[in-house]
Structure 1
Amino acid sequence: MQIQLWQIIVLGLLGGIAQWDETNMKLGFRNPAITGLIVGLVMGDVKTGLLVGGTLQLMTLGIGSYGGATIPDYATATIIAGALAISTGQGIDFAIGIGVPAALLLVQLDVVARMSNVFFQHKAEKYADERKYEKVELMNVLGLSTWMISRFVPIFICLFFGESLVQRLLEVSPDWLMGGLRVAGGVLPALGVALLLKYLPVKAYAPYLIVGFVLVAYLQMPMLGVALLGFAAALYNFKKAQSQDAAPAAAAGATYMGGADEDE
């Protein structure tokens, strides 16, 4: 399947909009699962797009861009890997093999975008001192544009030139290399879950973890069903904790009212 020019442009714009959304509206376009869905719609294979996005979403668990830290860009990697996987027909394992290195390489472009943004912010400070507020707004928009361009350009280049290159690499790649990519595609999502579990109170909620594992591993329950059961258990515990907190408060209120009556 040949990637059309309009698809490349749309996906490049998606990468830029996702970066804009991260610093503004927070609608969720930077989540690989969301970008994977959109990639699937644009490329005509929603299932593969969701599989790629959902798998790379697992790798984002347990990490965050705190204090301006630069982290692997799995959202942009989802766009590149998902589109190439669909166009070449290689599937999820091939996509993960491309997506992880792409996410790590995009870290460097994110650093460049942040550095270039400093120029515009210094200009904005200068115009603010001069009370030229329209130019302050313009500098902020231009500063954000560098981040958007830092995503659009690599997506466009990878999809415009990458498909033929990928096809050629597939023809000459040995079986052991492709096998290694498949193994990596299976291990890395588990690593993302492991990072998340490290920061969660697993010991306190071990019974729920075991129940979820049994439902998936032995009863073959779909992930949506497990998630709904987990939500129900969380809601039950939340309501129970609320009632326990409300009981001492109600007792204290009754004691206070009783003391007031005796004073009267």
Structure 2
Amino acid sequence: MITVTGATGQLGRLVVTGLLDAGVPAGEVVAVVRSPEKAGDLSARGVQVRQAEYGDAASLRTALQGTDRLLLVSGSEVGQRVTQHGNVLQAAKAAGVGLVVYTSAPKAADTSLPLAPEHAATERLIADVGLPAVVLRNNWYLENHDQPIRTAAETGEVVGSSGAGTIAAATRADFAAGAVAVLTAAEPEPGVVELGGDQPFTLADLAAAVAAETGREVTYRDLSAPEHQQFLLGQGLPQETAEFVVALDQSIAQGALETGSTALSGLIGRPTTPLAVHVRSVLRG
């Protein structure tokens, strides 16, 4: 039995459907969800839908019964994730799960990326629990740039403070396919895998891709961290959000999203989605 947590989320749903497309019988796939009514399409395909919440240890123990391989999709509640992930891992241990696959952050154990500490703590929890595990350190999603792409097409500029820092982004579908490959492998090799796109890009490259697609001039305006924060506040972002975005760009400038790895394309057996292809899909809708 292969179980996917967060199965109605953007990544989890792609993994569940990817497992079915890979030939895993629907009855051997379990979708753990907070709201079963959102998983009607999965249930209709024969997937076992089980209700559980990361904060409810009892529901997790029930939901993970019979699981051989588990994909723990990281939670979305910042500040609560370590405790919540711990609940899942304890339930997995009690259920006798044979393999845990966890979606972590790039370079989680050694990075300034503001998202990383809870992922690094979860990786330590996985080691402490002692279950065989594959940690997939997923890089940035190309979809995170969808709004900046649309804005750049309208305004003629991309604004940030990441300098020449590169981003090894790939699509959610690419990362989901990587998880499917691990979950269905004959003998998955436990360990940590840095996953990212084959062709890292800078925000200047992003601007150039938008320019190539639209046929208009699009430039990258690189600001200092204080200038960037003031710009974001002027765009109406809350203080905390602006600070987070600037901290992210500063981490990118320091190389936090450059993996130097082609492990993802190796797992999925094809190149990852190029930036130009994603920009085209966003702008052509």
* TM class, shorter-length: under 0.3
Instruction: Identify the structure with the greater helix proportion.
Output: 1
Greater relative contact order (Cα < 8 A, sep 6+): 1
Give the structure-1-normalised TM-score. Answer: 0.25
**Larger-Rg structure:** 1
